[in-house]
Amino acid sequence: MQTSRARLFKEYKEVQREKGADPDIQLVCDDSNIFKWTALIKGPSEAPFEVGVFQLAFAIPEQYPLQPPQVRFLTKLFHPSVHFKSCLDTSVCLRAIIALMAHPEPDSPLNCDSEKNEIPSILPGYRKRAKLYSVVHMRTIMLHPP
């Protein structure tokens, strides 16, 4: 557990040092629990999510990095792969999620409703519905407040 804490403190310091380096990502560690993180990511451009800001929660196991963090969207999202879990470090994981949002994988969906209805070849209906979800469920949180 000490190794996990040391690794997370190191990652947290890196995040603080790189703050502002990636304007599409904001990552915050819970002040009282190093194993809980929250992230805000801006939807990728030229994707139906570009109008949204999405909040994610990281639950990091005490065996980290040997066991991956559990990542879940707190903001409702229409996407075939919303049950995404990762074994990457937290900032790399967020970049991977943004890439996944920009390029859905319809051949192996986790959200069967989106796959059955609109994904087969990324039809315009999928893009329209995903954008609608992004607008309707967007958090009133700004990535970089003035």
Q: Which residue has the tokens 């949002």?
A: 101
**Could you tell me the strand order of the sheet in which 33-42 lies?**
25-30, 33-42, 53-59, 70-73
For the question of residue 87 being annotated catalytic, the response is yes
Write down the catalytic residue from 29, 87, 93, 112.
87
Cβ pair 82, 115 in contact under 8 A: no
* Residues contacting 99, CB < 8 A, separation 6+: 44
Residues with catalytic function: 87
